[in-house]
């Protein structure tokens, strides 16, 4: 996970640029570079993952063109073969291929050729044009703004990297590239080109094949790998596939409250089954409350669900950073969006199920993907997200939504069925009921947060919230707490986030006042 700040205005005062640049130091402490070139000011914090030598340092330059990229280009070896006739490579960095690829094909074709998680900015030395692009899901973060004095565009891996010298800072839309002063959509992954109506056996076979390929390609790293393991279906499958394809035991990490953890025992069951090197981290009420401000600062959000779910991830990544040499973590995000949450059991029709999945995919960059990136990057680690693989998501979104709905008395049935009876996981895990991460950490965690908010605010404070925060007004004392902390760091920037992450209130059974799955009538054994 690297980080960059770029301003197309070379006249930005050095102290302002450096102040902003240092705010994202955590994303890449291995090498720091600030240069002023014809295209503007380039600042890059490197986290060395591929080619650990100095040859992999950025920005990359060629023929007067310049490029910075925070990303993993999984098909870079294939792409190198395409441009070998015009370019001599100087490193083993996967991102170096981007410059010659651009020079041969242009940005529109280039971004469509990438099997990657990426955010990039580049300058064409011949045309004087500044360009940028972001992967279709938005797994790698990117923001843009306009320099306060000149109005010239600037880009950064996090919003905080632009706040000191830019106005109108906004998230860069996933699946778009920027050229000629405009944003162009190149891949709306939520909108499948066709709907596939195959036999269940065919669908599950392809799901298994594509997820395995996705995990395997993400095991390629020159830096050491680790795995976040909750004991839920998604992270357990990622670990199981990886362990089957690696010779040594993988390193897995689980976290829970010291009082009532749910996930820890399931994670240990998975770890014992797979034979991993497993570490448990237990946290206290004080850990939760004392980390809250730092978490919201790093997240750049006020959303209830995102904040709750980030606490465990942030603290376990802190532990990994402080106690291991790991740099890359594989996670289980993105599965829920394409296969369904607990609340999507209430979807009234296949069309509504598909529409909800599309909404979640298009908004991932504001919620689960944002959480994973910021919690992991805050501790100088890189996230890899197998369920967010472009080919995998494209296929699952193309499957007839009627077959993805919970008609089997078990959510995510297709994913579970794909690995049934193959020895990847015990049935107790493969068919475990889904539990929300923030709840499975231990129900006490959310209770502590609510109690703290209750002690801090009165009913009158909550009533006045609509005057103070007319945009997406906090509706509970807990949400008011998060919003107030957010506004301290990012005043007036609440519109970065579209809305509170909540179940679809238009569906029967989903009109609830808390985003946790435990308030739903179908929660059942999820909290056990």
pLDDT digits (tens, 9 = 90+) for 386-401: 999 999 999 999 999 9
Percent of the chain with pLDDT over 70: 98
Burial of 51 (0-12, 13-18, 19+ CB in 10 A): middle
Predicted confidence (pLDDT) at residue 97 exceeds the cutoff of 90:
yes
Peptide bond between residue 381 and the one before it cis (omega within 30 degrees of 0): no
Gap between the Cα atoms of 482 and 324, Å rounded? 31
Strands 328-330 and 382-384: parallel
Check if the beta carbon of residue 25 is closer than 8 Å to that of residue 45.
yes
Please compute the mean of the pLDDT values over residues 160-178 and round it to a whole number: 96
Task: Say which residue, 521 or 153, is predicted with more confidence.
Answer: 153
User: What are the angstrom distances between the C-alpha of 369 and each of 213, 288, 336, 377?
Assistant: 21, 21, 12, 12
Please compute the mean of the pLDDT values over residues 197-223 and round it to a whole number: 95
Catalytic residues: 2
**pLDDT-based confidence at residue 26 (cuts at 50, 70, 90):** very high
**pLDDT-based confidence at residue 296 (cuts at 50, 70, 90):** very high
For 41, residues 6+ apart whose C-beta sits below 8 A from its C-beta are 5, 6, 7, 9, 10, 12, 17, 34, 35
Please compute the mean of the pLDDT values over residues 322-331 and round it to a whole number: 96
Gap between the Cα atoms of 42 and 450, Å rounded? 43
Predicted confidence (pLDDT) at residue 200 exceeds the cutoff of 80:
yes
What is the reported pLDDT for 525? 64
Strands 116-124 and 65-73: antiparallel
What is the reported pLDDT for 433? 82
3-class SS letters over 32-85? EEEEEECCEEEEEEECCCCCCCHHHCCCEEECCEEEEEEEEECCHHHHHHHHCC
Gap between the Cα atoms of 255 and 226, Å rounded? 14
Predicted confidence (pLDDT) at residue 160 exceeds the cutoff of 90:
yes
Query: By C-alpha distance, which of 232, 3, 264 is closest to 140?
Result: 3
Please compute the mean of the pLDDT values over residues 465-493 and round it to a whole number: 97
Predicted confidence (pLDDT) at residue 148 exceeds the cutoff of 70:
yes
Predicted confidence (pLDDT) at residue 227 exceeds the cutoff of 80:
yes
Set out the domains of the chain in order of their start, with CATH numbers: 3-185 (3.60.20.10), 200-490+500-527 (3.40.50.620)
What is the reported pLDDT for 437? 66
Predicted confidence (pLDDT) at residue 382 exceeds the cutoff of 70:
yes
Predicted confidence (pLDDT) at residue 69 exceeds the cutoff of 80:
yes
Per the listing, tokens 């797994």 go with: 139
3-state secondary structure of 185: strand
Please compute the mean of the pLDDT values over residues 204-211 and round it to a whole number: 98
Predicted confidence (pLDDT) at residue 528 exceeds the cutoff of 80:
no
For 461, residues 6+ apart whose C-beta sits below 8 A from its C-beta are 477, 480
Mean pLDDT, the chain, rounded, equals: 94
Q: Please compute, for residue 73, the number of CA atoms within 13 A of its CA located in the half-sphere on the CB side.
A: 25
**pLDDT-based confidence at residue 58 (cuts at 50, 70, 90):** confident
What is the reported pLDDT for 297? 98
Gap between the Cα atoms of 339 and 205, Å rounded? 16
Give 66's strand partners: 61, 123
Please compute the mean of the pLDDT values over residues 40-52 and round it to a whole number: 89
Task: Say which residue, 91 or 152, is predicted with more confidence.
Answer: 152
Predicted confidence (pLDDT) at residue 168 exceeds the cutoff of 90:
yes
β strands within 152-284, DSSP E: 153-156, 166-171, 176-179, 182-185, 225-228, 251-257, 277-283
Gap between the Cα atoms of 68 and 3, Å rounded? 9
């Amino acid at each position: 996970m690297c980080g960059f700040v770029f301003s197309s205005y070379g006249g930005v005062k050095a102290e302002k640029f450096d102040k902003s640049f240092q705010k994202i130091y955590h994303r890449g402490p291995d090498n720091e570079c600030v240069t002023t070139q014809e295209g503007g000011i380039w600042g890059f914090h490197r986290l060395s993952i591929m080619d650990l030598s100095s040859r992999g340092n950025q920005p990359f330059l060629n023929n007067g063109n310049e490029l910075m990229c925070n990303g993993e280009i999984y098909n870079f070896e294939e792409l190198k073969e395409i441009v070998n006739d015009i370019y001599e490579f100087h490193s083993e960095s996967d991102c170096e291929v981007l410059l010659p690829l651009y020079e041969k094909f242009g940005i529109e074709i280039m971004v469509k050729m990438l099997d990657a998680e990426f955010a990039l900015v580049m300058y064409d030395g011949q045309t004087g044009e500044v360009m940028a692009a972001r992967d279709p899901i938005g797994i790698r973060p990117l923001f843009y703004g306009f320099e306060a004095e000149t109005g010239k565009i600037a880009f950064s891996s996090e919003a905080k990297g632009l706040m000191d010298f830019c106005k109108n800072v906004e998230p860069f839309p996933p699946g778009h590239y920027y050229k000629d002063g405009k944003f162009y959509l190149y891949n709306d992954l939520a909108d499948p080109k066709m709907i596939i109506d195959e036999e269940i056996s065919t669908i599950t076979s392809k799901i298994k094949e594509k997820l395995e390929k996705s995990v395997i390609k993400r095991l390629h790293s020159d830096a050491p790998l680790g795995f976040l393991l909750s004991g839920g279906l998604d992270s357990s499958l990622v670990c199981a596939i990886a362990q089957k394809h690696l010779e040594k035991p993988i390193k897995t990490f689980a976290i829970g409250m010291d009082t009532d953890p749910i996930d820890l025992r399931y994670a240990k069951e998975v770890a014992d089954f797979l034979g991993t090197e497993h570490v448990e981290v237990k946290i206290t009420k004080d850990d939760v409350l004392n980390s809250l401000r730092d978490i919201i600062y790093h997240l750049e959000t006020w959303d209830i669900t995102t904040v709750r779910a980030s606490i465990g991830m942030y603290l376990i990544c802190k532990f990994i950073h402080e106690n291991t040499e790991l740099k890359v973590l594989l996670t289980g995000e993105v599965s829920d969006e394409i296969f369904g949450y607990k609340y999507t059991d209430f979807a009234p029709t296949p069309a509504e199920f598909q529409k909800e999945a599309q909404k979640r995919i298009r908004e991932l960059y504001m919620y689960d993907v944002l959480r994973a990136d910021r919690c992991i990057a805050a501790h100088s680690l890189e996230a890899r997200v197998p369920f967010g693989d472009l080919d995998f998501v494209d296929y699952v979104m193309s499957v007839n939504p009627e077959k993805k709905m919970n008609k089997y008395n078990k959510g995510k049935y297709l994913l579970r069925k794909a690995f049934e009876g193959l020895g990847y996981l015990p049935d107790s895990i493969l068919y475990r009921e889904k539990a929300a991460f923030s709840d499975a950490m231990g129900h006490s965690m959310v209770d502590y947060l609510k109690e703290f908010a209750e002690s801090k605010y009165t009913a009158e404070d909550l009533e006045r919230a609509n005057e103070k925060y007319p945009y997406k007004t906090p509706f509970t004392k807990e949400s008011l707490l998060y919003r107030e902390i957010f506004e301290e760091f990012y005043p007036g920037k609440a519109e970065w986030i579209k809305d509170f992450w909540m179940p679809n209130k238009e569906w029967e059974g989903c009109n609830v006042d808390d985003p946790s799955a435990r308030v739903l009538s179908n929660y059942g054994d999820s909290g056990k």
